[in-house]
Homo-oligomer: A and B are copies of this chain.
Amino acid sequence: MTKPADPAEDLARAAAIARGTLRLLADLGLCGIQEMTLANNRRADIAAIGPGGEIWMVEIKSGVPDFRSDSKWPEYIPFCDRFWFAVDHDFPQDLIPEEAGLIVADAFGAAVIREAPAEKLSPARRKAVILRLARLAAMRLSAAADAGWTASEAALTSSGL
Contact = CB atoms under 8 A, between A and B. Distances in A.
Interface stretch (A4-12, A47-55, A72-80, A90-98): A47-55
A130 B138 contact: no
Nearest to A138: B31
A141 B137 contact: yes
Given A134-B133, A137-B138, A146 B22 contact: yes
Nearest to A53: B131
B51 A138 contact: no
Contacts of A13: none
Contact of A31 (B130, B134, B148, B150): B134
A70 interface: no
Main secondary structure of the interface of A (DSSP, over half): helix
A27 to B, nearest CB: 7
A141 B142 contact: no
Contacts of A158: 51
Given A48-B138, A51-B156, 12 more contacts: A19-B145, A23-B150, A31-B138, A31-B139, A32-B142, A51-B158, A127-B127, A133-B138, A134-B134, A134-B137, A140-B141, A141-B141
